[in-house]
A and B are shown apart, each in its own frame.
Chain A
Amino acid sequence: AQSVTQLDSQVPVFEEAPVELRCNYSSSVSVYLFWYVQYPNQGLQLLLKYLSGSTLVESINGFEAEFNKSQTSFHLRKPSVHISDTAEYFCAVSGSDTGFQKLVFGTGTRLLVSP
């Protein structure tokens, strides 16, 4: 079975500052890793994913995440945040033991960007 830990429940940051949202996972099988974003009272939208290959993955809106197998981490970063990035971010993992069909989520990190 897999599990995901997001240690930071809330991360306050000023506009145009860099940010890192931390995610660690545990699994005994091969995994896929995901970051989803949720705006208030809405569903989740996929931000980016790691399946295989290059350990650095990027989204279209400037976020990136790096898969680190030795540290079992998949931290999300952005060099300069905008007010519109204020949202809740969820890290998720799926494993080969479920055919990559079952997602396990972390508890989420609320990113608060202020002017």
Chain B
Amino acid sequence: DGGITQSPKYLFRKEGQNVTLSCEQNLNHDAMYWYRQDPGQGLRLIYYSQIVNDFQKGDIAEGYSVSREKKESFPLTVTSAQKNPTAFYLCATHPTGVTEAFFGQGTRLTVV
């Protein structure tokens, strides 16, 4: 089944713990993105990667880290340095030469 898979759908963590959100795609898209969604604030870009082994900070990168070792995978780590990590996280891909992005189903992270 082709698409973008984010796992898990719901994630609970204790404050101070690092947590990694998974994003896998089998669409052969070059660019991958992580967005954070909070009520009333829309989507804000955390990190993006246009090719393997390269990534750039988005607008709210502090407290987050990523890697892009494979074209198919772009995991996001929410570190303990992120002051307010509870949010809905969306992964997206963007194929070269195509105008729109494609989104996964999201991971809702709750830090208690």
A interface list, Cβ under 8 A from B? 6, 9, 32, 34, 36, 41-46, 49, 51, 90, 94, 100-103, 105-108
List chain A residues, Cβ under 8 A from B101: 103
Main SS class of interface, A? loop
Our count of residue pairs bridging A and B at CB distance below 8 angstroms stands at 53
Q: Which residues of B contact A107 (CB under 8 A)?
A: 40-42
Docked complex: B42-71 residues within 8 A CB-CB of A: 42-45, 48, 50
| Contact pattern, B 85-107, Cβ under 8 Å of A = 1, otherwise 0 | 00010101010000111111110
* Bound CA–CA A44/B35 (angstroms): 11
Interface residues on B, range: 20 to 34
Main SS of the interface on chain B?
strand
**Nearest-neighbor residue (CB-CB) of A106 within chain B:** B42
A45: B residues at CB distance < 8 A: 103
> What is the minimal beta-carbon distance from B97 to any residue of chain A, in angstroms?
10
CB-CB under 8 A from A94, the residues of chain B are: 99
Judge whether B43 and A101 touch: CB under 8 Å.
Answer: no
